[in-house]
Each structure stands twice: as structure tokens, then as C-alpha cells.
Structure 1
Amino acid sequence: MHDPGVSDRNRVARVLWALLALVVLASVLTEFGRTLAGVGEDPEPLGTRVVRFWSYFTIQSNVLTFLAVLPLVRDPQHDGRWWRPLRLTALLGIVVTGLVYAVVLAPTDHPVGLGVWTNAGLHYVAPVAALLGWLVLGPRPRVTWSTVGWAMVWPLAWIAYTLAHGAVSGWYPYPFLDVAALGYATALRNLALVAVLALVLLSGFRLLDRRLPRTGVIRAA
């Protein structure tokens, strides 16, 4: 039997996910355009600026969020074996982005011009919309312990890449993990704290995925 409540919920979900995808896409592309144009204080050659741009956790987490919510625009109850870890990875990444920026980076970051708007989109709008959308709209349940394990692959890979890239280039995307300035002991401690935060968040996401009301039809992954 057709349930008008489910239909209304799905319509709201499609609008929210579409708006989130648009905000992320516009923010990332605008910032990338500013990077190509040489806006800012980075005097490095174009190729170096491009590599650095795509090396930021913020940018990668927003791209993952865009990829994860696109299927939800078409079908708010979407499911899939490989989509589940993508969705959880994106949720983890964007929430960590929002938390770390608000607590650690925001006090010393002062964007100007278009950067004010893109900064808001990447660090505030996307994290809040992604988390609230997941809490209210789901879809649920979609998180198993296997999904949690796969969701840690990207953060750990990003940490390994960042340390390797920094060792070669001397550049680190965030001051709290700048080995050249802080030393390996402090930088690794800070990275360990972020990894612990990620594990705590993933465990919390799994618990909430099981405790919050189910949404729509439960499909096989």
C-alpha cells in the first residue's frame, strides 16, 4: 500500500541531498578555480598548487560526500555493497572536517572574498547538513562492523600519503601535523588523536544506525 508519509519524506530527502551536493560541488570547484588562478599567498608553480589542493583532507572529504549523496538524490533509500563504506567514509570525513576546523583551525583562519563563502560551504554547511541529514533521513540500517572497518581505509591512507608527501616536499596541509615545525613525536600524537576520534565516531555511527528508527525498505547490500 502506498504510504504518503514515506513519499513526503523521500521528497524532502531528495531536496536536501540535492542542495548538499550543489553546495559541495560549487564550493570545491570555486576553490579549485581560485587555486588555478593563483589567488592566495602560495607562490608555488601551478602543478604544485594543484597537488596541494587535492591533498587537503577537507577537499577529499567533501568530494567523498558529493559522491555518496548523489545516489540519494535519485533514491533516498539507496543501498549497495560498495556504497555503504563510501557513505560511512564520507560521513566520517565530513564530520571530522567540521570538528577539527571549528576547534583547531578556525581561530587562526581568516578567509576573504569568495573564500568566505566557500569556507562556509566546505567547513560548516556540508558537515552540518550531512550529519543532520543522516540522523533524520538515513537511510538505515546500513552500517555493519565490516562497513566500519572499510571506512577506516581512506583516513589511514590519507595519513600515510600526507606523511610521505611531507617528507618529500616539506609541505603539510595543516599546522597541527607539520613535522618540520612540530617534530615527528608531536605530529604523530596529533594524528593519533584524529585516528582515535575517527574510531569513536564510527562506533557511534554504528550504534545510532541500529538504534534510530529504520527508514523505508530494508534492502540487501
Structure 2
Amino acid sequence: MTHRTEAPDRAALARFLHLLVAVLALGGFAIELFVAITGGPGIAPTHAERIVRLFSYFTIESNLLIGGVSLALALDPRRDGPVFRVLRLDALLCIAVTGVVYNTVLRGLVELTGAGMVSNTMLHVLSPLFAVIVWVWAGPRPRVTASTVWWSVAYPIAWLVYTFVRGAATGWYPYPFLDVNTLGYSGALTSAAIISVLFLALAWGVRWLDGRLPDTDRSAPRT
């Protein structure tokens, strides 16, 4: 009797936790978008360029990804499928890399106040932290195969290519460690390689943990 009541409770809690991550990620993005829309061009040459730059940040893209995936999992904690597995792994890895890189390399480079401080905390601290915690507790697992890991690399590589191609055309790069203007291509590509290695290491680490942490498919049945 106890087992029958615990499983639905765990599924409900999983839904709530996934929804929490979605609110943190998408809420932080919404604040940034509102500021960009209402604040004029800022330091960008045009207002349109400011909006494009906003969506060009890895932080924004990773939060949109984890926000969308978490919202889907809030509706169905056991959602599955080959494409969704890649999206889920990408979302987890990208938001983790966002948190690690910001808090070890970028923190303190820009002084923030008001809404900027709130959104920054949501996007760079709370969203990455809770995304990882919720995956450890709620999964879903098992989901990660070697194929899933290799497919997950496609998105960050595409983002790096986009960043360097657009940077070459406009002279703007979203992060100082990728800025060809100051580092040259050798320095910027070295930074990109280091981040790629970090991404792959995390991906294989997630695959290893995916096979050893509790199987959430058994503990959180569909409700």
C-alpha cells in the first residue's frame, strides 16, 4: 500500500521540479528580452542588432533549451524518444557548461544592478544548479547511450561555427575568450577547443552516471 502511494507522489514532485527549472530559465530569459526590447540599442549599433546579439549568447540559448525541455518533462516526466534524448542531454550539458564557465571565467567582468542582477542570477547560477540537481534526482533515466553523446556534440559545434562566422562578418563576439579581435584565431580557437573538451568530458560523465544512478522509469510511472 505504501509503495502505491509513494510512486504518484514522486511523479508529482518530479513534475514540480522540472517546472521550477523551466520557470528559472525562461523567466531569466524573459527579463533579458524585456530589457533588450525596451532599452533601445544599448551598446549595439542598432536595436535589431541588440536583439540578434541577445539570441547569439550561449547562455541564452542554453537556458531556452533547458527551459523548453524541462517544460516538456513537467508535462510528462517520462517523455522519451531518440530526438528528445539528444535534446535532454544537450540541455543538461549546455546549462552546466554555462554555469561552470560563467562562475569560473566571466563572473565580475560586468557590474550589474536591478533587473540585470536578477536575470543574471537566474540564468547563470540558479538555472544551472537546479537543472543538475533535478536531473540527478528525477532524471529521466536511463536515457544516455554512446550515440546520444555523439549527437549531442552537433549543437555546440554549430554554435561555435555560427559565432566565428558571424564574428568575422560583424566584428562582434559574445564572449572575451572567443574574441578573435583581441586573441587572434589561435587564441580563440584554443578557448573553443578547451570548452569542447569540457563539453565532451561532461557528456561521457553523464552517460556513466546515467547507468549507475537509480532508474527513474521504475520509480516515477506515468500518471
Give the TM-score, by structure 2 length. Answer: 0.94
Cα pair 1:65 1:90 within 8 Å, conserved: yes
State the AA in 1 paired with 2:69: A
RMSD: 1.7
Cα pair 2:41 2:47 within 8 Å, conserved: no
* Superposed displacement of residue 3, structure 1: 2.4
Counterpart position of 1:26: 27
1:144-155 residue pairs with structure 2 within 5 A?
144-155=145-156
Residues 159-202 of structure 1 show CA distances to partners (whole Å, capped at 9, x for unaligned) of 00000000000000001110001111111101100000000000
Cα pair 2:42 2:50 within 8 Å, conserved: no
Unaligned stretches of 5+ residues in structure 1:
none
Counterpart position of 2:136: 135
Counterpart position of 1:186: 187
* Superposed displacement of residue 41, structure 1: 4.5
2:20 and 2:100 map into 1 onto residues whose CA distance is 21
Cα pair 1:6 1:216 within 8 Å, conserved: no
State the AA in 1 paired with 2:116: G
Counterpart position of 2:63: 62
Counterpart position of 2:74: 73
Q: Per the alignment, do residues 78 and 217 of structure 1 end up closer, same or farther by CA in structure 2, a change over 3 Å counting? A: farther
Runs of 4+ in 1 over 6 A off after TM superposition: none
Cα pair 2:14 2:74 within 8 Å, conserved: yes
2:215 and 2:92 map into 1 onto residues whose CA distance is 18
Unaligned stretches of 5+ residues in structure 2:
none
Cα pair 2:160 2:192 within 8 Å, conserved: yes
Aligned pairs, number:
219
2:39 and 2:208 map into 1 onto residues whose CA distance is 44
Find out whether 1:105 has 2:91 as its counterpart: no
Find out whether 1:168 has 2:164 as its counterpart: no
* Superposed displacement of residue 110, structure 1: 2.0
Cα pair 2:40 2:47 within 8 Å, conserved: no
